[in-house]
Amino acid sequence: MRRGRLLILFALIILFGAVAVFLFLRGVTQQATEAQGTPAVPSDMVEIVIAAQDIARGAEIPPDGVIAAPFPADSVVETMLTDIGQAVGRRARLDIARGIPITENMVTDAPGTLLGTGSIASIAIPPGMTAIAVPMSRLSGVAFALRDGDSVDVVVAMLLVDLDQEFQSQGPDNTMHFIDSGGSIITGTACAEITQDENGLTCTNPERPPVGRVVTDPETGIQLYAVPSENQRPRLVTQRLVRNATVLHVGTSPLSDEPAPVVVATPAVAEEAAGGQQAGAAATPEPEPDIITLIVSPQDALALNWAMKAKVDMTLTLRSPGDTTSIETTSVTLQYLIDNYGIAVPSKLPYGLQPRLDEIIPPVLGNDAFPAAP
C-alpha cells in the first residue's frame, strides 16, 4: 500500500516536471519568434526618414510617401529627418527620388518658399569665386578654340591721354584773354594770322588758339609761339589683367538646364532630308559665340566689369591644362618694345617709299571677307 502511494507520487512529480519543461520551451520559442519579427536596430545604426516613392516638387508628402530606415550613425548629418512626422504633411521643395534620405532643406511648411534649386552652372563654381560674362570675338577668343573648362588669361589694351588735373579735360587747354576797361588786351596773345595796313599790324585768330609754348628757332634765334598741329595722340599700353581664369561656358547658356530632346528620324524622313540637301538646301549654320563666361575671384570680376564699362579692348589667351605657374608680366608700351626687342628708330633718309605709306594695311582674311549685298 505504501509502495503504491510512492509510485503515484513519483509519477505526479515526473508529470509536473514535463509540463514545466514544455511551458518553458514554448515561452522561449515564442520570444525568439517575436524577436525575429521585429528586429532591434543595432547600436551603431539610427533611423532616418527616406522617400518611399518619387515625390514631385511642390507635392504634399503623404503618410505612405516616407519610411524610417536604419542608417550608419557616423554618417548622419544634423539636417536629416529622423521621425516620419517631420516629413508627413509638408511640401517638397524639389523633386525627391525614391530611396533618397530627406533633409530639412528638402521640405517646407509654406508653399511660398518653393524656389528653384539653382542652375547646374553654379555647381561648377568653387566657394569664394564668382562667374562673369565678357564679350568675345573670333580674334579675341583664340579663333574659337576655347572650350568649357579651359584656363585662360585676360589681356587688356588701353589708350591713355594727358588731362588737365583740375578740369579733367584733355589737353591742351583753350585760352581766353583779359581786357581792361579801355578795351585793351592785358594778357599776351598768339596770332594765327598777321596782316599789316595803314594802322599797323593786325592779329587775327579765326578760332580761339590753344595753349602752346614759346620756342626759339635754332637757326634764326627768333622766338615763336608753338601750338599743337593736331589733337593729342593717345598712348597705347597693354598688360595682363586676369590670370588663370576658368572658362565656365562658351557662348550663350541655354535658358533651361533640361537636355534637348533627341529626335530619331524614320528611314522615310531621313531619305527626304538627304534628298533635300542634295537638292541644294543649305543647313542652318551654328551661330558664332560672341560671349564667354569666366570663373574668377570677386576682385577680378570688378576689374573685368570696369574694363567692359570703359570699353577697354580685351583678349583671351589659352593656357596649358594644369598649368599653375605664376609668371609676372610687365606692361608693354612703345618705349618697352624699343628698349627690350631691339627695335631701331628709323633714320631720316634722302629717299623713301612710293607710293606714300601713312598707315599699315593688314591683310584681308578669307573668312572676314563678306560679299557685297545685291
- Find out whether 244 and 324 touch, Cβ atoms under 8 Å: yes
Report the pLDDT value the prediction gives residue 133, as an integer from 0 to 100: 98
Q: Three-class SS string for the chain? A: CHHHHHHHHHHHHHHHHHHHHHHHHHHHHHHHHHHHHCCCCCCCEEEEEEECCCECCCCECCHHHEEEEEEEHHHCCCCECCCHHHCCCCEECCCECCCCECEHHHEECCHHHCCCCCCHHHHCCCCCCEEEEEECCCCCCHHHCCCCCCEEEEEEEEEECCECCCCCCECCCECCCCECCCCCECCCCCCCEEEEECCEEEEECCCCCECCEEEECCCCCCEEEECCCCCCCCEEEEEEEEEEEEEEEECCCCCCCCCCCCCCCCHHHHHHHHHHHHCCCCCCCCCCCCEEEEEECHHHHHHHHHHHHCCCEEEEEECCCCCCCCCCCCCECHHHHHHHCCCCCCCCCCCCCCCCCCCCCCCCCHHHCCCCCC
Cis ω for the linkage preceding 70 (within 30 of 0): no
Report the pLDDT value the prediction gives residue 232, as an integer from 0 to 100: 85
- Find out whether 140 and 320 touch, Cβ atoms under 8 Å: no
Report the pLDDT value the prediction gives residue 91, as an integer from 0 to 100: 87
Report the pLDDT value the prediction gives residue 170, as an integer from 0 to 100: 82
Using the Cα atoms of residue 83, residue 86, residue 88 and residue 93 in order, give the sign of their dihedral: negative
Report the pLDDT value the prediction gives residue 274, as an integer from 0 to 100: 57
- Find out whether 137 and 290 touch, Cβ atoms under 8 Å: yes
Report the pLDDT value the prediction gives residue 231, as an integer from 0 to 100: 82
- Block residue for cell numbers 593717345: 234
Considering the entire predicted model, what is its pTM? Answer: 0.59
DSSP lists the bridge partners of residue 294 as 132, 247
Report the pLDDT value the prediction gives residue 372, as an integer from 0 to 100: 54
Cα(46)–Cα(206) distance, integer angstroms: 95
- Find out whether 146 and 316 touch, Cβ atoms under 8 Å: yes
pLDDT values of the chain reduced to their tens digit, one per residue, 374 residues: 555 665 666 665 665 566 555 555 556 455 555 545 555 556 678 899 999 999 988 888 999 999 999 988 888 888 899 999 999 999 888 889 999 999 988 888 876 555 566 777 887 899 999 999 999 999 999 999 999 999 999 999 999 998 888 878 887 776 655 555 655 655 566 666 667 677 666 666 667 666 677 778 888 888 777 777 788 889 999 999 999 999 999 999 988 755 555 445 455 555 655 555 554 455 678 889 999 999 999 999 999 999 999 999 999 999 999 898 989 999 999 999 999 999 999 999 999 989 888 888 878 877 765 555 55
